[in-house]
Homo-oligomer: A and B are copies of this chain.
Amino acid sequence: MRALVSEPGQRIRLADVALPRRPRECLIRVRLAGICGTDLQILQGYAAFAGIPGHEFVGVVEEVASRDDERWLGQRVVGEINVGCGTCDWCSGGVKEHCQDRTVLGIRARSGAFAEFVSLPASNLVPVPGDMADDVAVFAEPAAAACRILGQIALPSDIRVAVVGDGRLGLLVTQVLLRAPSRVTLFGRHPEKLAVARGLGIADTHTGVRAEFDRSFDVVVDVTGRPSGFADAVRLVRPRGTVVLKSTFHDHDGPALSPVVVGEITVVGSRCGPVRPALALLSSGTVRVEPLIDRILPLDAFEEAFAAARTSLKVLFRPGEEG
């Protein structure tokens, strides 16, 4: 099959590779795959990943490994991206995303979705509602990551919440959070992305973080993917408030942490989330994604795709198509 292959220290390339068949797993033909900030970080060396990146996809199951899984054949699916060992305490408790021996689609020891096919266990698959477009379903994984925050912190209706970062994940996080408190303030750096945000019903947007907002929020979510975003979040949050950290980046040094101590701030790391609730939010239109899509490209246009993904909101691959 054709796939994009990334290796640390080398430029990503299009290659013909073997099908990613794994024992006891399903083979899924990828219909669409989304480029995420983490993919751009991986291209710069984050997580020292070697292989096929990509962890946001929607596809159709083409092969299964057992009679039990036959009901998946032909199903349109999205997937949970963590595959655990199945036996450790974390896996037994249903939290395979913290299994020490996990693989992660396109991020850790598992071929990802910038390819014609991916492999995942049936237990990782979630069926897509029949009336949901592919270019909505492909947002299931990042929308799930946004939903994760709801499982980590309480959000009463009078809480003051800010999101720092007007990128693809920032706009999903803000939409998800707007379900709970009456108001969420979005800080960004890109007037055109903030305009998209307002089109999505995010009324309170600001270009840049100004001193008048310092210490003004109970909860601030950093989805910038940059150390300076964390510093902005720390100045926006009130003493003893909470900063939710969504950003991972390839960097040896991070932001200074003394302000976290002085303000007695709680920082909560937040990663993958539940896919089914995310699909429900996408299905109901509570979270809208169409305005985020900048372009849909074949795999061989990967250079254009990654360049566009660095500045625009969401770029999708359609691996079945040639450019």
User: What copy number does this chain have within its complex?
Assistant: 2
Among A128-136, A196-204, A251-259, the stretch that binds chain B is A251-259
Is A124 on the interface with B (CB-CB < 8 A)? no
Query: Contact check: which of B227, B248, B250, B269 meets A266 at CB < 8 Å?
Result: B269
Chain B: minimal CB distance from A160 (Å): 13
Query: Contact check: which of B98, B240, B250, B261 meets A247 at CB < 8 Å?
Result: B261
B residues in contact with A271, CB < 8 Å: 261-262, 264
Interface code A198-237, partner B: CB below 8 Å = 1, 0 otherwise?
A: 0000000000000000010000000000010010000000
CA distance A240 to B269 in the complex (A): 8
Q: Are A246 and B230 in contact (CB under 8 A)?
A: no
Is A170 on the interface with B (CB-CB < 8 A)? no
B residues in contact with A267, CB < 8 Å: 257, 260, 266-269
Chain B: minimal CB distance from A50 (Å): 18
Q: Are B264 and A260 in contact (CB under 8 A)?
A: no
Is A245 on the interface with B (CB-CB < 8 A)? yes
Q: Are A239 and B270 in contact (CB under 8 A)?
A: no
Interface residue tally on A, bucketed by range: 35 or more
CA distance A277 to B256 in the complex (A): 31
Q: Are A258 and B248 in contact (CB under 8 A)?
A: yes
Is A114 on the interface with B (CB-CB < 8 A)? no
Chain B: minimal CB distance from A155 (Å): 16
Q: Are B256 and A251 in contact (CB under 8 A)?
A: yes
Chain B: minimal CB distance from A255 (Å): 5
Q: Are A98 and B230 in contact (CB under 8 A)?
A: no
Q: Are A246 and B261 in contact (CB under 8 A)?
A: yes
> Which of A215, A247, A253, A258 neighbours the largest number of chain B CB atoms within 10 Å of its CB?
A258
Query: Contact check: which of B230, B240, B249, B270 meets A264 at CB < 8 Å?
Result: B270
Interface code A161-193, partner B: CB below 8 Å = 1, 0 otherwise?
A: 000000000000000000000000000000000
Instruction: Contacts A98-B264, A266-B269 given; indicate if A256 touches B258 (C-beta within 8 A).
Output: no
Instruction: Contacts A90-B239, A239-B90 given; indicate if A245 touches B270 (C-beta within 8 A).
Output: no
Q: Are B265 and A266 in contact (CB under 8 A)?
A: no
Q: Are A260 and B245 in contact (CB under 8 A)?
A: yes
Chain B: minimal CB distance from A265 (Å): 5
Q: Are A257 and B260 in contact (CB under 8 A)?
A: no
Q: List 26 A-B contacts (CB under 8 A).
A: A46-B258, A90-B239, A95-B239, A95-B240, A98-B240, A98-B263, A227-B257, A230-B257, A245-B261, A246-B261, A247-B261, A248-B261, A253-B253, A253-B254, A254-B256, A255-B257, A257-B269, A261-B269, A262-B269, A262-B271, A264-B268, A264-B270, A266-B268, A266-B269, A267-B268, A267-B269
Given contacts A98-B239, A98-B264, 8 further A-B contacts (CB under 8 A): A98-B240, A152-B264, A245-B261, A247-B261, A257-B267, A260-B267, A266-B267, A266-B268
- List the 6 closest A-B pairs by CB distance, nearest first: A98-B239, A253-B253, A260-B269, A267-B267, A248-B258, A261-B269
